[in-house]
Amino acid sequence: MFSSEAKFSEWHLAGFGDAPAFLFDTLESTHSLMKARASAGIITPGTLLVADTQTAGRGRHERTWDSPAGKNLYFNILIPLDGIAPASAPQITQVAALTFAEVFRDLQDGSNAQGLGNRDIGKVTVKWPNDILCGKSKFCGILAELVYTKSAKSGSAQSSSAPTPAISMGVGINVNSDASDYEHLGRAVTTLKDICGQAVNREKLLQLLIANLERAIGQFRAFGIRPWVAAWKKMDQFLGARGTIIVNNRCTDNNRDGGTGVQKKAGRIADMRDDGSLLFECDDGTIETVYSADLEI
């Protein structure tokens, strides 16, 4: 995992079930391209898109995701929903976050056995619902949308086949970037290189993440979200801690703390329920079940 990596154009990758992987030196956004190709019926479920850099990378609510070239991972996987109810589809991001976080923890602990892992910056954990942090610094973001894919036949005028639902999941991971890449943000940013104490082979890392995610999605089909709730509780560092829930469906980089429709509630992180939702005890004493929001700690 810590060997020198091959040239980006020579990476050997595959999606789910040996679906194809497409590599791009530069893209506006892997997520936007996947969504467009899926909707147009010109891509197979399970397909993986990977960019070496993005010019318009984004996170939740259209927030900017900085994408320096040749250092990090920016990819999108089109996850088929065979055997998964569309109502359960949002939980897939939680499964992905926990699956990836376990890989990152193993890398931190494994490299630490060599005297290189950096535990001074904290442990890798998942902040509900799907942000991956080390300490309190985020280094991996996941953005997922439900899309409807057309088969080649269903895209023709002669066919009446219904589009098939799938999850377009975009992932950005700060792997080998440096602090200087993020000076313009005005805040500390953690990278996997900092966590492991050495540079990481991005190709090998992505191969491992995709393989583990495909296996985890299969387990999710069989057992639902409950095993990952148990894993989250073992990994979590924030239960009982104070936090702020921010509900703003139109939140962007510029209006996160204000603007029309913003609701902010301070309180205590009480628990995570078996369905993946968050129990949040507000300062006024009420306890809310939160299914979708931003959580600040």
Amino acid at site 76: N
What's the CATH number for 238-296? 2.30.30.100
Name residues whose C-beta falls within 8 Å of residue 283's C-beta, 6 or more positions apart in sequence. Answer: 265, 266, 267
* Domain extent listing, the chain: 8-233, 238-296
Task: Tell me what the mean pLDDT of segment 73-98 comes to.
Answer: 93
Stated pTM of the model: 0.89
Closest alpha carbon to 189 in 239, 152, 138: 138
- Give the span between the Cα atoms of 2 and 207, in whole angstroms: 14
pLDDT higher than 60, residue 253: no
Describe the strand order of the beta sheet including 294-296 as a list of residue ranges.
287-290, 278-282, 263-272, 242-247, 294-296
Q: Which CATH superfamily is domain 8-233 in?
A: Bira Bifunctional Protein; Domain 2 (3.30.930.10)
- Asked, colleague to colleague, whether 8-233 and 238-296 share their fold, the answer is no
- Give the span between the Cα atoms of 195 and 117, in whole angstroms: 6
Q: What is the per-residue pLDDT across 191-235, written as a single tens digit (0 to 9) for each? A: 999 999 999 999 999 999 999 999 999 999 999 999 999 988 888
Closest alpha carbon to 64 in 166, 179, 184, 180: 184
